[in-house]
């Protein structure tokens, strides 16, 4: 039987976090600000979240005995990344409340299911088709048009598990490279820029969304988020309504992100849903009284949602790979430096972020 949260987790209570990366680290820090304890479960002994939590368990996410023992020390369990096995989340839910829950986790682990769900809500996405064989990929390319991208349905982030294709032969070859893994072919859309909306939903249906940042990517990795960006006030409200519709349909509890394409005709297309706190919301740590991390802890702990209003404009820039070696240079700049405590610098690895604030303007 699935456990539900019958009353708010009081100060001194424990939030369990599946995953020990930088998002788990910042969630643990936010929980501490509210007087809550955290336990972190991860399979990586060098997990950054281990440095700042009250206790941790090193184990495999598939080890149901280990995760059950971990859960018994928690009042509620959440996760910081979407690739926690859905079966693990379902098992944990029989021991302790798990939020946002296995439904949202399973849906967002499969790109085909996710996009089909978004379309079912009357929201727009890029055109897409399911493919799993070279023949299907070639046929889908012929149907969708001149250029597209093949993405594996499961796993992959920051451009992993993706391949740009410009011909039917390219599409067929990409499926072979992915070893015939179930995938989708997405047609490219001629968007003006990318944006996202970070929102939270409480168990009582309460909803709060932050202003939408404009996002710039380099090599499929988020480089910076700017708020306010080029979204108009009307687009900003439309983005929040998109998030509200998704959150309500999922019965979601917690913070989530919706990545968007802003089209040249001003319409908004849903690219992806992230069932967790999100890189493009890191600016909320300095620009808002209640950050996305505190908001998530509030939501899953059964607390009232905080005010998402920002008191400053912000530019958040990721510190990637070898850029982290220049930490002293970042430290001299006016702004907020966050380093994640990762022991090893690797190309393309997010090592930290830096946020600059300026006086508040309105979209």
Q: What confidence tens digit (pLDDT) does each residue in 197-214 have?
A: 999 999 999 999 999 999
Which residues lie below 8 Å from residue 139, measured CB to CB, with a gap of 6+? Answer: 168
pLDDT of residue 244: 98
DSSP annotation of 324 reads G
155 and 172 in contact (C-beta within 8 Å)?
A: no
DSSP string, 154-203: SS--TTTTEEEESSHHHHHHHHHHTTT--EEEEE---EEEEEEEEEEE-T
105-120 mean pLDDT: 94
On the question of pLDDT at 159 being above 60, the answer is no
pTM (two decimals): 0.94
Residue 79 and residue 99: Cα distance in Å, rounded? 8
161 and 83 in contact (C-beta within 8 Å)?
A: no
Question: Which residue ranges form the domains of the chain, and what is each CATH number?
Answer: 14-98 (3.40.50.20), 127-187 (3.30.1490.20), 191-358 (3.30.470.20)
How many other C-beta atoms lie within 10 A of the C-beta of residue 132?
15
Tokens read off for 203: 């168990």
Residue 316 buriedness (CB in 10 A; 0-12 / 13-18 / 19+): buried
DSSP run (H or E) holding 339: strand 336-339
pLDDT of residue 156: 60
pLDDT of residue 21: 97
pLDDT of residue 179: 82
Residue 115 and residue 126: Cα distance in Å, rounded? 9
pLDDT of residue 160: 60
DSSP run (H or E) holding 15: strand 14-18
Residue 89 and residue 71: Cα distance in Å, rounded? 11
Residue 313 and residue 228: Cα distance in Å, rounded? 6
DSSP string, 239-302: HHHHHHHHHHHHT--EEEEEEEEEETTS-EEEEEEESS--GGGTTHHHHBSS-HHHHHHHHHTT
Residue 129 and residue 149: Cα distance in Å, rounded? 11
Which residues lie below 8 Å from residue 356, measured CB to CB, with a gap of 6+? Answer: 314, 315, 333, 334, 335, 336
298 and 307 in contact (C-beta within 8 Å)?
A: no
Instruction: Spell out a b/e string for 48-82, using b for 16 or more CB atoms within 10 Å of the CB, else e.
Output: bbbebbeebbeeebeeeebbeebbeebbbbbbbbb
On the question of pLDDT at 116 being above 80, the answer is yes
% the chain with pLDDT above 70: 98
**Selection from 74, 83, 3 nearest residue 44 by Cα:** 83
SS3 97: coil
253 and 201 in contact (C-beta within 8 Å)?
A: yes
At 327, is the pLDDT very low, low, confident or very high (cuts 50, 70, 90)?
very high
Report phi then psi at 253, rounded to 5. -130, 120
Q: What confidence tens digit (pLDDT) does each residue in 225-254 have?
A: 999 999 999 999 999 999 999 999 999 999
67-88 mean pLDDT: 92
């Amino acid at each position: 039987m699935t456990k539900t949260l019958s009353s708010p987790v009081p100060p001194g209570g424990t939030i369990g976090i599946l995953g020990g990366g930088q998002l788990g680290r910042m969630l643990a820090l936010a929980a501490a600000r509210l007087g809550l304890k955290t336990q972190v479960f991860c399979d990586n002994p060098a997990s950054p979240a281990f440095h700042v939590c009250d206790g941790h368990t090193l184990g495999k996410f598939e080890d149901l005995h280990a995760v059950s023992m971990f859960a018994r020390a928690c009042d509620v369990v959440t996760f910081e990344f979407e690739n926690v096995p859905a079966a693990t989340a379902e098992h944990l839910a029989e021991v302790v409340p798990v939020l946002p829950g296995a439904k949202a986790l399973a849906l967002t682990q499969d790109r085909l299911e996710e996009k089909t769900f978004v379309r079912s809500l009357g929201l727009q996405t890029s055109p897409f088709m399911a493919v799993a064989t070279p023949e299907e990929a070639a046929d889908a390319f012929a149907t969708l048009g001149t250029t597209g991208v093949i993405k594996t349905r499961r796993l992959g982030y920051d451009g992993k598990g993706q391949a740009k294709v410009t011909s039917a032969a390219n599409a067929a070859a990409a499926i072979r490279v992915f070893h015939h893994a179930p995938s989708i072919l997405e047609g490219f859309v001629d968007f003006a820029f990318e944006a996202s909306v970070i929102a939270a939903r409480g168990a009582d249906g309460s909803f709060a969304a932050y202003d939408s940042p404009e996002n710039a990517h380099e090599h499929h990795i988020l480089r910076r988020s700017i708020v306010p960006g080029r979204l108009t006030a009307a687009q900003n409200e439309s983005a929040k309504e998109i998030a509200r519709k998704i959150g309500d349909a999922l019965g979601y509890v917690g913070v989530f992100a919706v990545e968007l394409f802003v089209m040249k005709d001003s319409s908004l297309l849903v690219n992806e849903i992230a069932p967790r706190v999100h890189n493009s919301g890191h600016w909320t740590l300095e620009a808002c009284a209640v950050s996305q991390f505190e908001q998530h802890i509030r939501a899953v702990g059964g607390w009232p949602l905080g005010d998402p209003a920002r008191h400053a404009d912000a530019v958040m820039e990721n510190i990637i790979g070898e850029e982290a070696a220049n930490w002293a240079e970042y430290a001299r700049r006016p702004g907020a430096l966050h380093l994640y405590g990762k022991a090893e610098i690797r190309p393309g690895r997010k090592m930290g972020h830096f946020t600059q604030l300026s006086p508040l303007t309105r979209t």
